């Protein structure tokens, strides 16, 4: 996998005169040349607004934009291309469901279940909805190891449950949740399930039909694609029955002052000029992943995780937060007596990029009684040597600060 680094020009840069060691991939991954070139090629060759034009540039841009929809369909195993809605990212995809399906289907006294390890973007939209509808938000507890108990989850399910919104892979702990089993249990009580795939889409094989989730959300920028584009997958019959989200151009069939009719799927949920360039470049990212193969990537990342876990555990005073049996590609940790932010600053001086803080999971940090963690998260271009640099940096940090 060393050759793959050549595809990522940013990995060659220096930070504070040191070679960059980029271990903040769970926040956003770096972009391969294919993605950078797809963006530049669009703007320098066929920039045009899509869907409405009959001129050549508009046709080319429309074809490229729609080609990404097919690539996404393939990437997540959706039954139909109409089930792929482009959004700004995971956050907007979840909010779309909360504002449309949620407003239509949640009544007073209904229950929505989320877990204690959700990202704020899979908490706050449901809190807003529950407050508006006098519905109840229930939380699946997180164990000391950073896992969800399926048994405790099942005890929360009842005929009052209308929706379960679950993260497939925790961005703060790396835990992989048993979503298939949890979806099946939710369906038994008639609830719908939304899966937050922001972290899972890049690491795991995603097959929404096999998973049988009702909604699935992910962001382009975490799968080696551009920022500003993401995906909402929804089962066709749900998307068809849901009310519209934003009103404007493209999402309509016919507008008159008396009555407006709405467009077919997927355009019904894509009002206004979309993020054409980034959506087109997302296909380059998905092609890049499939060109290498998820299986090969997974093996490489598994080896990095095992190595990092062993090496970091050996550092005196270092405690790994989140020791789930099923984990992917990140290690969250604290070092006794040192604030995570101080560690982050000193590592940056050595050219090492990690994330520190609550990782947009404040309730989870509260559950562990900590202000935050240091998080090192890995991607396909990371190397074992970079973990050695991190470990050496941590030893230096400890020497300086304790
Ligand atoms: N959910 C999880 C688990 C995440 O890690 C993130 C991004 N940190 C989000 C949701 C939100 O994604 P975005 O900011 O791209 O909308």
Closest to 366 (Cα-Cα) out of 155, 198, 120: 120
Q: How far is CA 370 from CA 63, 116, 119, 338, 340, in A?
A: 49, 15, 16, 12, 10
What is the Å distance from ligand 1's center to 101 Cα? 20
Q: Are residues 87 and 121 in the same domain?
A: yes
Q: Are residues 314 and 380 in the same domain?
A: yes
Q: Ligand 1 — pocket residues by CB below 6 A?
A: 89-91, 119, 121-122, 167, 171, 196, 198-199, 219, 360
pLDDT in tens, 129-150: 999 999 999 999 999 999 999 9
Closest to 130 (Cα-Cα) out of 98, 93, 90, 165: 98
Write out the two tokens for 214.
């009702």
d(CA 299, CA 46): 38
30 inside domain? no
Q: Are residues 284 and 334 in the same domain?
A: no
Write out the two tokens for 35.
């993605």
Q: Are 116 and 90 in contact (CB under 8 A)?
A: no
Other CB atoms within 10 Å distance of the CB of residue 378: 27
Smallest CA separation from ligand 1 atom 5, residue = 171
- Report DSSP letters for 94-150, one per residue: HHHHIIIIIHHH--TT-EEEEETT--GGGTHHHHHHHHHHT-EEEEE-B-TTS-B-H
pLDDT in tens, 322-331: 999 999 999 9
pTM (2 d.p.): 0.98
The band of 389, judged by pLDDT with boundaries at 50, 70 and 90, is very high
Closest to 91 (Cα-Cα) out of 272, 260, 227: 227
Q: Are residues 309 and 231 in the same domain?
A: no
**Which residue range(s) make up the domain with 351?**
2-25+294-401
3-state secondary structure of 222: helix
Q: In the chain, pLDDT over 70 holds for what percent of residues?
A: 100
Q: Are residues 123 and 12 in the same domain?
A: no
Q: Which of 20, 128, 360, 370 is catalytic?
A: 360
Residue 373: pLDDT above 90?
Answer: yes
- What is the rounded average pLDDT of the residues 386-395? 98
Residue 2: pLDDT above 90?
Answer: no
ipTM of this complex prediction, to 2 decimal places: 0.99
Q: Are residues 211 and 358 in the same domain?
A: no
What is the Å distance from ligand 1's center to 168 Cα? 12
pLDDT in tens, 242-270: 999 999 999 999 999 999 999 999 999 99
Residue 161: pLDDT above 90?
Answer: yes
| Ligand 1 atom showing the smallest separation from residue 169 Cα | 3
What is the Å distance from ligand 1's center to 123 Cα? 11
d(CA 371, CA 368): 9
- How many domains are contained in the chain? 2
CATH number, domain at 298? Answer: 3.90.1150.10
Averaged pLDDT score across all residues of the chain = 97
CATH number, domain at 84? Answer: 3.40.640.10
Q: Are residues 81 and 116 in the same domain?
A: yes
3-state secondary structure of 382: coil
Q: Is 360 a catalytic residue?
A: yes
d(CA 182, CA 22): 34
Q: 206 burial class (0-12, 13-18, 19+ CB within 10 angstroms)?
A: buried
57 inside domain? yes
Which sign, positive or negative, has the C-alpha torsion 238, 239, 241, 244? Answer: positive
- What is the rounded average pLDDT of the residues 206-215? 98
């Amino acid at each position: 996998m060393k050759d793959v680094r050549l595809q990522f020009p940013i990995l060659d840069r220096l930070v504070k005169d040191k070679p960059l060691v980029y271990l903040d991939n769970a926040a956003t991954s770096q972009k391969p040349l294919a993605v950078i070139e797809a963006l530049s090629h669009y703007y320098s060759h066929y920039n045009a607004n899509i869907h409405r034009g009959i001129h050549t540039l508009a046709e080319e841009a429309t074809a490229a934009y729609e080609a990404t929809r097919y690539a996404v369909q393939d990437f997540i195993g959706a039954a139909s291309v109409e089930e792929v809605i482009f959004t700004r990212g995971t956050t907007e995809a979840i909010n779309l469901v909360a504002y449309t399906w949620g407003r239509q289907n949640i009544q007073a006294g209904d229950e929505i279940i989320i877990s204690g390890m959700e990202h704020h973007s899979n908490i706050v939209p449901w809190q807003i909805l529950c407050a508006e509808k006098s519905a109840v938000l229930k939380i699946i507890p997180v164990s000391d190891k950073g896992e969800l108990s399926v048994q405790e989850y099942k005890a929360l399910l009842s005929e009052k449950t209308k929706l379960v919104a679950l993260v497939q892979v925790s961005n703060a702990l790396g835990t992989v949740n048993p979503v298939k089993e949890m979806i099946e249990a939710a369906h038994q009580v008639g609830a719908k399930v939304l899966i937050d795939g922001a972290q899972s889409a890049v690491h795991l094989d995603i097959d929404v039909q096999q998973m049988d989730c009702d909604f699935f959300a992910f962001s382009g920028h975490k799968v080696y694609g551009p920022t500003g584009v993401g995906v909402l997958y929804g089962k066709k019959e749900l998307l068809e029955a849901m009310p519209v989200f934003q009103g404007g151009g493209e999402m309509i069939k016919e507008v008159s002052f008396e009555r407006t009719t709405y467009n077919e799927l997927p355009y019904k949920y894509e009002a206004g000029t979309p993020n054409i360039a980034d959506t087109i470049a997302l296909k380059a990212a998905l092609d890049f992943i499939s060109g290498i193969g998820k299986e090969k990537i997974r093996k490489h990342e598994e080896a990095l995780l095992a190595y990092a876990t062993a090496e970091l555990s050996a550092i005196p005073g270092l405690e790994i937060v989140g020791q789930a049996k099923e984990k992917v590609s990140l290690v969250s940790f604290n070092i006794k007596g040192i604030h995570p932010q101080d560690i982050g600053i000193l590592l940056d001086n050595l050219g090492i990029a990690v994330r520190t803080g609550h990782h947009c999971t404040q309730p989870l940090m509260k559950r562990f009684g900590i202000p935050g963690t240091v998080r090192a998260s890995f991607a396909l271009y990371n190397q074992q040597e970079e973990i050695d640099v991190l470990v050496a940096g941590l030893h230096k940090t400890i020497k300086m600060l304790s």
